[in-house]
Amino acid sequence: MNFEFTEEQLAVKQAARDFARQECLPGVIERDELQRFPKEQIYKLAELGFMGMMVKPEYGGSGMDTISYVLAMEEISKIDASVSVCVSVNNSLVCYGLQEYGSEEQKQKYLTPLAQGIKDGELYIGAFLLSEPEAGSDATSQRTTAEDKGDHYVLNGIKNWITNGNSASVYLVIAQTDPAKGHKGINAFIVEKNWPGVTVGAKENKLGIRGSDTHSISFQDVIVPKENRIGADGFGFKFAMKTLEGGRIGIASQALGIASGAYELALAYSKERKAFGQPIMNHQIIQFKLADMATKIEAARLFCLKAAWEKDQHLDYTLSGSMAKVFASETAMWTTTEAVQIHGGYGYVKEFHVERLMRDAKITQIYEGTSEIQRIVISRSILK
């Protein structure tokens, strides 16, 4: 077993760290307050190759491994989780799904510009449309329909809480083609945002990751060419499950970054802030909080890296991905809450980053499979 990173992995980590501090930190509080999508930051990340990190170079990607992706996600998420969720969705849910399961034509037409993140000089990213008003955790209960009309499908329905909902140009849409077949009647489709019948709903006013644009998307009699179906007929649910497995490594790494960002701030603050005549780091109650933070964060990091390593080795990473997600997201929520506590009154106001990190942490326990869903996946895996 080797716990050392390669020079390339360390270079990716450093590049992501520098980018986050130089390009994401300025204005992060304002973007959160105004719910402003970090378009400039995402465009620059695309230019640096961070939007298609694990895509093969022949399809416009950077050809990196999943370990590098975890390292980059952690560094960006320490500073701005609204940026990192956009990076995660495009890399894990959109590019990975297309690279793994798309046809050669789909890869040429859609994956290549999506991995580059730029097309004709404009930002070009994707979104993953599974959740519906009545189908979040219960993902087989899809109400969106795709009626088979021979050479095309007709798509109708509504999708909710879609990350990159307005900024994406391409949607991967999960829909029910044959309700009688249950999950085996579900398909996944590539849909372009500017096609007739596609409508972007109002932006959600969220607790956290307020810079990311989350919208509902509705489809009314949208014509989808048959060649835009991903995989064989009825493959859509498995496509969603396999794609989400990779997504969970991305969100676990985001949670890890939120936790480690809050920990670094709490550590620095405890050295500066004085109470009872000495820096608060000299009080054992603060030392123990910091010790517990550091321990949990290191465990979360090891979970994320193990899942990433298994994915890179083409091993089954269903279990490790879910363990990473549930542990890292709960670590993020706990650590950010404690970081606010260490900051006292300052931690409760918006000028101090821990306040935002605590709000951002919550979503990591919800999206791409709630903590409860991860426990279902874990228990099924260990009890089989």
Q: What amino acid positions are annotated as catalytic residues?
A: 368
Q: How many residues bind ligand CAA (CB under 6 A)?
A: 24
Residue from the set 245, 310, 330, 360 that interacts with ligand CAA by CB under 6 A = 245
Could you please report the per-residue DSSP string of 129-159?
E--BTTBSSSTT----EEEE-SSEEEEEEEE
- Collect all residues with Cβ–Cβ distance below 8 Å to 104 and sequence separation of at least 6: none
- Sole window of 31-39, 167-175, 302-310, 368-376 interacting with ligand CAA (rule: CB under 6 A): 368-376
Restricted to residues 222-241, the positions that interact with ligand CAA (CB under 6 A) are 237-238, 241
Evaluate whether 169 touches 192 at the Cβ level (below 8 Å).
yes
Task: Name the minimum Å distance from CB 288 to ligand CAA.
Answer: 34
Residue from the set 53, 168, 191, 244 that interacts with ligand CAA by CB under 6 A = 244
Task: Name the minimum Å distance from CB 273 to ligand CAA.
Answer: 36
Task: Name the minimum Å distance from CB 370 to ligand CAA.
Answer: 7
Tokens representing residue 110 in the block: 């859609």
Task: Give the residue from 25, 55, 50 showing the smallest Cα distance to 38.
Answer: 25
Q: Helix, strand or coil for residue 205?
A: coil
| Under rule CB under 6 A, residue 37 binds ligand CAA | no
Task: Name the minimum Å distance from CB 298 to ligand CAA.
Answer: 26
Restricted to residues 161-200, the positions that interact with ligand CAA (CB under 6 A) are 162-163, 183
Task: Give the residue from 190, 153, 152, 189 showing the smallest Cα distance to 169.
Answer: 190
143 or 152: CB nearest ligand CAA: 143
**Binding string, 123-142, against ligand CAA, x = CB under 6 A?**
-----x-xx----xx-xx--
Task: Name the minimum Å distance from CB 330 to ligand CAA.
Answer: 16
89 or 265: CB nearest ligand CAA: 89
Task: Name the minimum Å distance from CB 373 to ligand CAA.
Answer: 4
162 or 323: CB nearest ligand CAA: 162
Helix (H), strand (E), coil (C) string for 324-380:
HHHHHHHHHHHHHHHHHHHHHHHHHCCCCHHHHHHHHHHHCCCCCCCHHHHHHHHHH
91 or 318: CB nearest ligand CAA: 318
Whole-number Å distance between alpha carbons of 277 and 283:
11
| Under rule CB under 6 A, residue 322 binds ligand CAA | no
Q: Helix, strand or coil for residue 22?
A: helix
89 or 293: CB nearest ligand CAA: 89
Task: Name the minimum Å distance from CB 163 to ligand CAA.
Answer: 3
Return the number of other C-beta atoms located less than 10 Å from residue 147's C-beta: 15
Whole-number Å distance between alpha carbons of 187 and 180:
14
Evaluate whether 52 touches 116 at the Cβ level (below 8 Å).
yes
260 or 374: CB nearest ligand CAA: 374
Restricted to residues 82-111, the positions that interact with ligand CAA (CB under 6 A) are 89
Task: Name the minimum Å distance from CB 35 to ligand CAA.
Answer: 16
67 or 373: CB nearest ligand CAA: 373
Restricted to residues 277-296, the positions that interact with ligand CAA (CB under 6 A) are none
CA 20 to chain centroid: 16
Whole-number Å distance between alpha carbons of 93 and 319:
18
Q: Give the relative orientation of helices 66-79 and 236-272 as an angle to the nearest 10 degrees.
A: 50
Helices (H), 139-272: 236-272
89 or 266: CB nearest ligand CAA: 89
Whole-number Å distance between alpha carbons of 127 and 173:
9
| Under rule CB under 6 A, residue 318 binds ligand CAA | yes
Whole-number Å distance between alpha carbons of 185 and 169:
26
Q: Given the rule CB under 6 A, which residues bind ligand CAA? A: 89, 128, 130-131, 136-137, 139-140, 162-163, 183, 237-238, 241-242, 244-245, 318, 367-369, 373, 376-377
